[in-house]
Each structure stands twice: as structure tokens, then as C-alpha cells.
Structure 1
């Protein structure tokens, strides 16, 4: 899973926190990318973060949608939630 983020973004912090809950359930890795570290990413995404991608596909934009996100994780092979 990849989250496009930037510093000082409350929605980004919210999405990262929600993703960490999914991390505990599903056991996948989270890559957080600061779009301001790359000029091309900054030009394309600086005003449209956060965005979460699962297996290269957009899973969520601005706010986490838990049911959709869980479905995409399972489709990507993340397996079922842990007990």
C-alpha cells in the first residue's frame, strides 16, 4: 500500500492512522510518500492528498473508505483480517 501525503496535512495524518489499523488487521506494509520531495509528484498531487493506492490502483482519496479499502486489500492478496 502506498499513501501520497504531504507535511501539515490533517487529512493525510487521518488516513495514515486509519491505514495503520488495517496494517494490524491485514499485515501489509505501508509506504508513505511525501509528494513535496519529488517535483513531478508535487505538481500533480500537492493539492489532492492524501491518496491511498493498493496494488497500484487508487483505493481512497481524501478520506478512508473502510469497506472499499478492505475489499481492495483482499483482492490484492492481503488475505483476511487477523484475529
Structure 2
């Protein structure tokens, strides 16, 4: 039996056409690739609850389900949060 893959540890909450989201995505892609960590992205346009909660903070980064950053992603801080 093959074990199921680990759930994503990082979530990017973003919206289309957001330049800060593009910058955050690039940092998240780089850090998670270096550390072998899974991540995924959610759009506030697809989820009314996310839109209501995070509209003024997008992009928002969650680590292990908890809010980590908003507007900008600090690469060193994200790496530290993902260390074992």
C-alpha cells in the first residue's frame, strides 16, 4: 500500500491580476521547492468566505493552516516557519 502524500503545508490565498500575489507565489514556489514542501493556491474569487475574511489582506499566506503573512512574503521567515 502506497502512503498518501502529505497535505500541503503552505496555502496562498490570492486573486487574479494581483501583482503582489505574483510576487508571493514566486517566493512560495522557490522556498517550497528547496525544502520539498507541498503548497497550493486558493482564489478569493472562488470562495465567498475567503473573500470576506481576507479581501483587504490579499495575498495571504497560511502555514499549516494558520495565517503567516499578508501582502508580502518574507522568504527567510517562511523558510524558518517550515523548518522541522
1:72 and 2:81 matched = yes
Q: After superposition, what is the alpha-carbon deviation per residue over 1:48-68, rounded to whole angstroms, capped at 9, x for unaligned?
A: 100111112222211111221
Give the counterpart of 1:35 among 36, 44, 47.
44
RMSD of Structure 2 on Structure 1 (CA): 1.1
Tell me the TM-score normalized by structure 1. 0.82
Aligned residues, how many? 75
Tell me the TM-score normalized by structure 2. 0.81
Contact 1:5 1:12 in 2 (8 A): yes
Deviation >4 Å, runs of 4+: none
